[in-house]
A and B are shown apart, each in its own frame.
Chain A
């Protein structure tokens, strides 16, 4: 197939779809009429096979296999999916929710848990990894702890006099300040200073 003719076929398909979008009423009516004709013919044929009229009609409908489903499929074959899918999908979605609320609830629950877990993890990652430390030149910042030589325990808080000593005598650090200080002197601090 040449490029020209394939382009022409695409254009023709597109214009047919556009047509059916603009004149949906007519298209629907024609579709209805086409199906009705088919069902009538099928009914007649069955009646010739000596079935009573309503039985023949029922069988014809049965053989057709779901008129609504078929109309849906035919519309799909001739519609512009991009333009009408959102509203139709929404309608179908709502209908499904109404017909099976438990299933819908399970899905909503799953989504809620998923979104919740994500938000929780992200807020941790955000503060720990992504946000810059709220001090200038954070790479020069260190934390100083004391080690108790007698008991061997490290990461001990320093007493205020120690902090003052460190601050006055340090050559490694440009400045030292207390953080998380307890202003009320504890018993241990009292003993140290006494």
Chain B
């Protein structure tokens, strides 16, 4: 890959956040770090879009927020997936798989027409 890391593709950030919050509630910093770690540093979440996205998802009722204590006993805002967020995540995952599968098919085609 020419670029060592990529900004998260527009439109996929919401899905990645929901997915990251699936196992346990987490604060914004945690979300950004986990996405980066799981993607082996390839995906890098732009902080300037992370928090607006979190607040947007909160507004849509897909996640809720609550103040709590961080690992090192600091006050931090934790986000938790709601039931509706859960089903939203399933929908978005399905959509994404269909989409990326289709893109793969196109890229895998060897230039000969038909099959």
Which residues from B are CB-within-8-Å of A9? Answer: 60-61, 84
Residues of B within 8 A of A34 (CB): 27-28, 51, 76-77
Q: Which residues of A contact B28 (CB under 8 A)?
A: 34, 37-38
Residue from the list A5, A12, A65, A78 in contact with B55, Cβ < 8 A: A78
Chain A residue numbers with a CB within 8 Å of B49 are: 73
Count A/B pairs, Cβ under 8 Å: 69
Give chain A's interface residue range (CB within 8 Å of chain B): 20 to 34
Q: Does A77 touch B at the CB level, under 8 Å?
A: yes
Can you list, as one digit per residue, whether each of B41-56 has a CB less than 8 Å from chain A (1) or not (0)?
Answer: 0000011110111011
Query: Known contacts A33-B75, A38-B47: does B60 contact A70 (CB below 8 Å)?
Result: no
A8 to B78, CA, bound (A): 23
A9-65 residues with Cβ-Cβ distance < 8 A to B are 9, 12-13, 16-17, 30, 33-35, 37-38, 40-42, 63-65
Chain B residues contacting A77 (CB-CB under 8 Å) are 52-53, 55-56, 59
For residue B58, CB closer than 8 A to chain A, the reply is yes
A191 and B83 alpha carbons, distance in the complex (Å)? 107
A37 to B77 Cα, complex, angstroms: 9
Residue of A13, A30, A76 near B61 (CB, 8 A) is A13
Is the C-beta of B74 less than 8 angstroms from some C-beta in chain A?
yes
> CA A70 – CA B56 in complex, angstroms?
13
> Distance (Å) between the CB of B112 and the closest chain A CB?
43
A69 within 8 A of B: yes
Q: CA–CA, A77 to B50, complex, Å? A: 12
Q: Is the interface of B mostly helix, strand, loop or mixed?
A: helix
Q: Is B70 on the interface with A (CB-CB < 8 A)?
A: yes
Q: Which residues of A contact B77 (CB under 8 A)?
A: 30, 33-34, 37
CB distance from B79 to the nearest CB of A (A): 10
Chain A residues whose CB sits within 8 angstroms of the CB of B53 once the complex forms: 77
Q: In the docked arrangement, what's the CA distance between A33 and B75, Å? A: 9
In the complex, the answer to whether A37 meets B47 with C-beta atoms within 8 Å is no
B96 interface hit (Cβ, 8 Å): no
29 example contacts (A-B, Cβ-Cβ < 8 A) are as follows A8-B61, A9-B60, A12-B60, A13-B59, A13-B60, A13-B61, A16-B58, A30-B67, A34-B76, A37-B27, A37-B28, A37-B74, A37-B76, A37-B77, A38-B28, A38-B47, A38-B51, A40-B74, A41-B29, A42-B29, A64-B48, A65-B47, A65-B48, A70-B52, A74-B52, A74-B55, A77-B55, A77-B56, A77-B59
- A interface vs B, CB < 8 Å? 5, 8-9, 12-13, 16-17, 30, 33-35, 37-38, 40-42, 63-66, 69-70, 73-74, 76-78
- Give chain B's interface residues, CB within 8 Å of chain A: 27-29, 32, 46-49, 51-53, 55-56, 58-61, 67, 70, 74-77, 84
Name the 7 nearest CB pairs between A and B, nearest first: A73-B52, A65-B48, A13-B59, A41-B29, A77-B56, A77-B55, A70-B48
